[in-house]
């Protein structure tokens, strides 16, 4: 049988509680499709930082590299400043492994009541394609006049032709592949003077390569409003690192799926492993109680299956999630209005597979 | 009688249609409160750009300066790139007149059906306080390797101590004055390495000056999601230029008021005139048909009254807007589901005053 070697990083907080459920489902779906998953566990987290001063060992990235994919839980914990935990683990993985696509579905699921009215499952179903390696997330910049009244901080975003073009091409290819021939670009070229007009310029250039795909673009301010007012109009939305970050949280906010949304940090060329992680964080408020919703982690594993070429298995897991959510007698964690534990919901999904 | 001299810039598209209704209401409310408004009209717009190559004359700002306030319609028109129209008129006004506060209400109004469910007027009622002169909207940066595969664009945001502190103090003062003792800061210090940790640092410092005001902060991604999921939790939200731009469109998106939301670009020291303008744009799709909703412009005029020290008159106009919206037999423009013209709705509000 085909064996896949996975690096498993539960990270902090509820990451440790939801990860076992994803592995449970992977084992079941693997058995069903005749493939095997090997797991190598890495306990790198804010705990690691507290005891060693780094989020991961010096050779951390090298140790991850020889895996078919990385499954990540959640990174971040009170007491460790976010920019330390993230720039010490999550962001280096995204960048060193050239995971330049951050892919997130926005989908209205059965059994989930969204905050928006008059929408039913099927109405909202699109993808946010976020640039994941450059742009506004940048360590370029610094501070002058520290501690004085004239103190000033500069923060520089970098947009390269290579980085911009490849994320846009990915979005167009995805649209074509999904048979959803419409791509929306998130911009802000009316306010942000250099980078966003450039973004628009490249969007027009890449769009010209895909004449069968229709396009439009919205400034990020009105685009966010449209995510709420008319989410059904989107198919594929392509955005810079920051704008994509915003849109891929806002989208699941609109569909009521923020606690269950998955994401893929993808290196499409497969030169490096890709990382799959839920959109939710480590949730210090509920961590340790065994009541976190494991669907985001399980759905992330489904996206990983897709990426590994096991599309049927991936669709099977998503189908199982949907069936369990739609079944009002199935276990539900407190965020879904029930009393079930993480494990009970995980087992129910494993059974449904 | 006290006379106020106003600079009136209708700008482009529907700006020209909604502005007369605001002036109509100002005349009525002025008569009621015994004050007079003088209007000096400036037709600077994208038309000006097409015929002269600039959005306003070289001495444009000097000509605006000696007014008590500026009423602006909407700027921007197809064929003139946004970054030209805006950096040629709107943004220089904001900056040269040190209008460092962009203030926008997010309010669920009677008679308006919002896209979110289970909310009623009164549930959602808060202010977005946006920094309006620096930050991410910046002309710092440029392009290297133009037209080559290694092309790269840098875009630098600048955050000064002065600029950061004063917008935060304004937010805390507003919270105190409104008796809404809670301020939320929009940040992204987990991803944006220099500017946003600095933003957090200053927020903590200024918050310490207002011990009676409670605070929290959210990263912009989850904050946007929370605007949809739990908009009732906000009182005053303080944000950088870009984040404030996003939030102050998203908020009205959530309350279904994007077409009617107002904004003030305020110089709190009153060294320079402040500008009041609707959040909506020039709406090329409906311009010229006399069906645009004038409420955003009228409500902006109400915010101006407030700024001029005519708080009672301002509240009177807002009350008139609310009564007309709540009255199902009153005229409604097509965006509100009716067939009324801009003028009919404007007159109804003037009558209600
Ligand atoms: C037109 C544009 C530059 C402007 C902005 O982003 O500031 C507008 O969106 C606004 O919010 O007033
Ligand atoms: C934790 C944070 C740095 C991260 C991001 O903004 O990229 C998260 O919000 C996400 O979207 O994966």
Residue A35 is inside which H or E element, if any? strand A35-41
pLDDT of residue A60: 95
Q: Is the pLDDT of residue B83 over 90?
A: no
Four-CA torsion A134, A259, A172, B78, nearest 10 degrees: -80
Range B153-170 average pLDDT:
98
Sheet of B141-144, strand order: A141-144, A152-160, B152-160, B141-144
Confirm if B150 and A160 have CB atoms less than 8 A apart: yes
Mean pLDDT value across chain A: 95
Angle at B275 between CA B271 and CA B280, to 5 degrees: 160
Q: Looking at residue A109, what DSSP letter applies? A: P
Q: How confident is the model at residue B250 (pLDDT cuts 50, 70, 90)?
A: very high
Give the model's pLDDT for residue B163. Answer: 97
CB B279, CB B263: distance < 8 Å:
yes
Does A91 score more than 90 pLDDT?
A: no
Indicate whether B205 pLDDT > 90.
Answer: yes
What average pLDDT does range B303-310 have in this prediction?
97
Per domain, the residue ranges of chain A are 1-100+268-353, 113-256
Q: How far apart are CA A318 and CA B121, in angstroms?
A: 39
Asked if B1-107+259-353 and B113-256 have one fold, the answer is yes
Query: A113-256: what CATH class?
Result: alpha beta
Alpha-carbon distance of B260 to B36, in angstroms, equals 25
For position B8, what pLDDT does the model report?
Answer: 98
Domain A1-100+268-353, classified CATH 2.40.37.10, yes or no: no
Provide, as residue numbers in chain B, all residues whose Cβ is less than 8 Å from the Cβ of A87: 193
> In this predicted model, what pLDDT tens digit does every residue of A14-45 receive, in sequence order?
999 999 999 999 999 999 999 999 999 999 99
User: Of the spans A128-132, B258-262, B335-339, which averages the highest pLDDT?
Assistant: A128-132
Q: Is the pLDDT of residue B84 over 90?
A: no
What pLDDT is stored for residue A56 in this prediction? 94
> Which positions 99-128 of B are in contact with A (Cβ < 8 Å)?
115-117
Q: Give the rounded percent of residues in chain B with a pLDDT score beyond 90.
A: 91
Asked if residue A83 has pLDDT above 90, the reply is no
Which pLDDT tens digit goes with each residue over A150-163? 999 999 999 999 99
Work out whether strand A141-144 and strand B101-107 pair parallel, antiparallel, or are unpaired. Answer: unpaired
On whether any CB of chain A is under 8 Å from the CB of B270, the answer is: no
Over range A330-351, report the average pLDDT.
95
What pLDDT does B91 receive?
A: 87
Residue B19 pLDDT > 90: yes
Average pLDDT of chain B, as a whole number: 95
Residue whose CB lies within 8 A of the most ligand 2 atoms, among A90, A252, A283, A297, for a mutation test: A90
Confidence of residue A127 (pLDDT cuts 50, 70, 90): very high
The atom of ligand 2 lying closest to the CA of A242 is: 6
Contacts of B87 in chain A (CB under 8 A): 193
pLDDT interval class at A207 (50, 70, 90): very high
Query: Would you say residue B68 has pLDDT above 90?
Result: yes
Considering chain A, what percentage of its residues have pLDDT values greater than 90?
Answer: 91
Distance from the Cα of A79 to chain B's closest Cα (Å) equals: 13
pLDDT-based confidence at residue B233 (cuts at 50, 70, 90): very high
Structure tokens at A54: 């780094």
- pLDDT for A13 equals 97
CA B346 distance to own-chain centroid: 20
CB A268 within 8 A of CB A299: no
Rg from Cα positions in chain B: 20
Measured by CA distance, the residue closest to atom 9 of ligand 1 is B245
Looking from the CA of B289 toward its CB, the CA atoms found within 13 Å total 13
Is the CB of residue B201 less than 8 Å away from at least one CB of chain A? no
CATH architecture of B1-107+259-353: 3-Layer(aba) Sandwich (3.40)
């Amino acid at each position: 049988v085909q064996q896949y070697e996975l690096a498993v990083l539960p990270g902090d907080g509820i990451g440790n509680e939801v990860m076992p459920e994803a592995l449970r489902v992977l084992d079941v779906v693997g058995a069903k499709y005749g493939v095997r998953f090997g797991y190598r566990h890495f306990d790198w987290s804010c705990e690691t930082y507290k005891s060693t001063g780094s989020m991961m060992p010096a050779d951390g990235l090298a140790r991850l590299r020889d895996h078919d994919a990385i499954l990540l839980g959640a990174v971040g914990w009170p007491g460790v400043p976010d920019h330390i935990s993230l720039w010490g683990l999550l962001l280096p993985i995204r960048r060193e492994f050239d995971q330049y696509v951050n892919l997130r579905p926005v989908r209205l699921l059965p059994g989930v009541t969204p905050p928006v009215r008059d929408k039913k499952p099927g109405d909202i179903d699109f993808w946010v394609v976020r640039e994941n390696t450059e742009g506004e997330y940048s360590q370029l910049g610094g501070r002058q006049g520290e501690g004085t009244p004239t103190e000033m901080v500069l923060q520089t975003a970098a947009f390269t032709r290579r980085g911009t073009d490849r994320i846009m091409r990915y979005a167009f290819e995805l649209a074509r592949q999904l048979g959803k021939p419409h791509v929306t670009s998130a911009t802000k070229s009316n306010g942000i003077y250099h980078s966003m007009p450039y973004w628009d310029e490249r969007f027009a250039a890449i769009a010209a390569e895909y004449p069968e795909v229709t396009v439009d673009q919205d400034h990020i301010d009105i685009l966010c409003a449209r995510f709420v007012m008319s989410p059904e109009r989107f198919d594929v939305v392509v955005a810079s690192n920051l704008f994509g970050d915003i849109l891929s949280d806002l989208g699941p906010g609109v569909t009521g799926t923020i606690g269950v949304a998955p994401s893929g940090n993808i290196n499409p060329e497969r030169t490096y492993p890709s990382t799959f992680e839920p959109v939710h964080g480590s949730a210090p408020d509920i961590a340790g109680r065994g009541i976190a919703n494991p669907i985001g982690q399980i759905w992330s594993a489904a996206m990983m299956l897709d990426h590994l070429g096991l599309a049927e298995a991936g669709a099977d897991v998503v189908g199982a999630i949907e069936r369990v959510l739609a079944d009002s007698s199935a276990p539900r964690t407190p965020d879904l209005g029930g009393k079930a534990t993480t494990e009970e919901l995980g087992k129910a999904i494993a059974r449904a597979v």
